[in-house]
Amino acid sequence: MKKYSALLLFLALAVRIPAQLPAGAVAPDFIAQDISGQTWHLYDLLDQGKIVVLEISATWCPPCWAYHNSHAMQELYEAHGPEGDNTLQVLFVEGDPATNTDCLSGPPGCNNFTPGNWLNGTTYPYFDNAAIADSFQVSYFPTLYVVCPNKKTYQIGQLNAAGLWEKASACPVASGVNNAGIFDFSAGTEQREICDGLNVKPSFSLVNLGSNPLTSATFTLQWNSELQQTKEWYGNLPLYGEVPITFDSLILDSPGTLKTTLTSVNNNPGDEDFSDNVHNDHFTAAAEFSTTQILLKIKTDDYGAETYWELRDGQDNVLYHGGNSNVGPDGGGVFGNILPGPGAYANNVLINKTLALPGDGCYSLLLVDAYGDGMCCDYGNGYYKLFNSSNPVVPVLNGGEFGALEHRGFRIKSTTGIFDPDQHTALNLLLSPVPASGFLNLGFTLAEPSFISASVFNALGQTARQYPARQLESGEHTWKVPLDNCPSGAYFLRFQVGEEIVVKWFWVK
């Protein structure tokens, strides 16, 4: 999540800030000397097939110093730089023009502020060059980029070494003569849980990674090892040229694996590098809840204002939402200047929400982190958990380690007490008048003497009215419950007889 100081946020709001480079933008080239006098040319590194990880920072920035002391960049460099597998190059840029080079070595000679020696224990190149920061349109520190050999640039968060490598290794890297790969894959849905069928429409970018032009390719789509679709492509792509490929929609109705394969390149079976020719997506059965009333617990991490969530029905209608409305449902990747908006959560707090759902069926929980590094675990131990309201100890669904977005599907399949009033059961509940105004009549039949209770909730799941429990004899009954002070809108009634529960929607006019 974005880690910036209050001072930096003030400065960001007080001055005009250029827009960040959009994801996938072509990297601006530079030729510059590091502080030891060695000259580096960005495009030369990329033309050599190197991935470049660029950290643009400032010595006076406390979050920058904290990230530096995580040693994530040094660990990445040791594993994958010239002394490792030699697939990438790390470059550190001090991007503040008001800070002199001495600040990188510690306080002596520094004309600004520095908490220590930035060079101690690091072996990758350092630059004191504000022009590089300006060319990459940096508006806050630290800003991290992965620059791929095809010269496309992607901003990333302050990840650990493994996370940095995961982002870097997603770059297409050319090799050989006849070679291509599948990149930027999307199944057409964020969900990986299947509830009454899941509609997918796989798409991806086909990228030419060979020195020969790419003129033809063949793809297959399999579900649980059974061929579903075959697609042919013809054209003319130069090195690092790319084209979007999309399969037809497919309904998945059981757990399994969706496999996309690039089977031929330039009329040759396979190509010279099979590592990027196959993409697998695994789907599981949706978790089941036994009641329509569920409990959502969210524990925020050190940056609660970056969290937003929605609970949706099977048609993607939003039934409940919470968290920072400035973040919204469209995913993360907003690395700077996340301002608390309506509903924003504080840091390291526990939120409990009781959510009453209209009935059995499929639902989903969408979690968004604005900075793109989830709710756990590098910056606090945040999480989300969903429980049956009758068992708030053992979660049915939980998580917290994700990137920008997580979308979890689940099913309500009540086993004790959610009844359709149109079915012939021992309890048939009728509501009148509909819409209601001032009061609501509950009509029902009891097969035996029973305790009954009722509550009314608004559309946000907040308790609007709660009525005392009472004991009634068997037979037909009418219970008139008051709705005074209930504003117009949608409500639902939770009516319980013994262990049986009915939940029904109604309107107040």
Q: What is the pLDDT of residues 222-263, one digit of tens each?
A: 999 999 999 999 999 999 999 999 999 999 999 999 999 999
Where does 34-143 have alpha helices with state H?
42-47, 62-68, 72-80, 130-135
Question: What's the average model confidence in pLDDT over 297-301?
Answer: 97
pLDDT at position 404 over 60: yes
Tell me how far apart the alpha carbons of residues 467 and 442 are, in angstroms, rounded to a whole number: 12
Q: Which of 176, 183, 78 is nearest to 122 (CA)?
A: 78
Which H helix or E strand runs over 162? helix 161-168
Tell me how far apart the alpha carbons of residues 96 and 132 are, in angstroms, rounded to a whole number: 10
Q: What are the pLDDT digits (tens) for 105-118?
A: 999 999 999 999 99
Which pLDDT does position 423 carry in this prediction?
37
Q: What is the DSSP string of 202-270?
A: -EEEEEE-SSSPEEEEEEEEEETTEEEEEEEEEEEE-TT-EEEEEPPPEEE-SSEEEEEEEEEETTEEB
Distances in whole angstroms, Cα of residue 316 to Cα of each of 310, 311, 312, 363, 387: 10, 9, 5, 8, 21
8 falls in which pLDDT band (50, 70, 90)? Answer: very low
SS3 122: coil
Tokens for 3?
């880690």
Tell me how far apart the alpha carbons of residues 406 and 287 are, in angstroms, rounded to a whole number: 15
Query: Which range has the worst mean pLDDT, 184-198, 454-468, 475-489?
Result: 454-468
Q: Which residues of 243-282 are buried (b: 16+ CB within 10 A; e: fewer)?
A: eebebeebebeeebebbbbbebbbeeeebebeebbebebe
Tell me how far apart the alpha carbons of residues 18 and 13 are, in angstroms, rounded to a whole number: 12
Which pLDDT does position 10 carry in this prediction?
31
pLDDT at position 5 over 50: no
Tell me how far apart the alpha carbons of residues 191 and 146 are, in angstroms, rounded to a whole number: 27
Query: Residue 466: left (phi > 0), alpha (psi -120 to 50), or beta?
Result: beta
SS3 272: coil
Which pLDDT does position 332 carry in this prediction?
74
One fold for both 180-283 and 430-508? yes
Which pLDDT does position 124 carry in this prediction?
98
Tell me how far apart the alpha carbons of residues 345 and 298 are, in angstroms, rounded to a whole number: 10
Percent of the chain at pLDDT exceeding 70? 93
Is 110:103 a contact under the CB 8 Å cutoff?
yes
pLDDT at position 79 over 50: yes
Which pLDDT does position 1 carry in this prediction?
37
Distances in whole angstroms, Cα of residue 173 to Cα of each of 160, 239, 433, 466: 22, 10, 67, 63
Which H helix or E strand runs over 165? helix 161-168
Tell me how far apart the alpha carbons of residues 504 and 394 are, in angstroms, rounded to a whole number: 27
Report DSSP state, residue 283: E
Which pLDDT does position 427 carry in this prediction?
62
Is 451:469 a contact under the CB 8 Å cutoff?
yes
SS3 198: strand
pLDDT at position 424 over 70: no
Q: Which of 91, 243, 241, 271 is nearest to 152 (CA)?
A: 241
Question: Residue 109: which residues within 8 A CB-CB, separation 6 or more?
Answer: 100, 102, 103
Which pLDDT does position 241 carry in this prediction?
97
Which pLDDT does position 175 carry in this prediction?
95
End-to-end CA distance of the chain: 44
Would you list the domain boundaries of the chain? 6-168, 180-283, 287-412, 430-508
Respond yes or no on whether the N-terminal peptide bond of residue 342 is cis (omega within 30° of 0).
no
- Is the pTM of the predicted complex or chain greater than 0.85? no
pLDDT at position 37 over 90: yes
Q: What are the pLDDT digits (tens) for 446-478?
A: 888 888 999 998 866 678 899 988 999 988 899
Question: What's the average model confidence in pLDDT over 156-181?
Answer: 95
Which H helix or E strand runs over 509? none
CATH architecture of 287-412: Sandwich (2.60)
Q: Which of 330, 504, 375 is nearest to 427 (CA)?
A: 504
Tell me how far apart the alpha carbons of residues 63 and 161 are, in angstroms, rounded to a whole number: 17
Which pLDDT does position 337 carry in this prediction?
63
- Residues 6-168: name the CATH superfamily: Glutaredoxin (3.40.30.10)
Is 221:246 a contact under the CB 8 Å cutoff?
no
Q: Which of 265, 249, 257 is nearest to 210 (CA)?
A: 265
Question: Residue 33: which residues within 8 A CB-CB, separation 6 or more?
Answer: 39, 40, 127
Distances in whole angstroms, Cα of residue 48 to Cα of each of 52, 124, 472: 11, 18, 83
pLDDT at position 317 over 70: yes
Q: What are the pLDDT digits (tens) for 318-370?
A: 999 999 999 999 877 776 667 888 999 999 999 999 998 988 999 999 999 99
Tell me how far apart the alpha carbons of residues 179 and 277 are, in angstroms, rounded to a whole number: 10
CATH architecture of 430-508: Sandwich (2.60)
Confirm or reject CATH 2.40.160.20 for domain 180-283, answering yes or no.
no
SS3 502: strand
Mean pLDDT of the chain, nearest integer: 90
Which pLDDT does position 428 carry in this prediction?
75
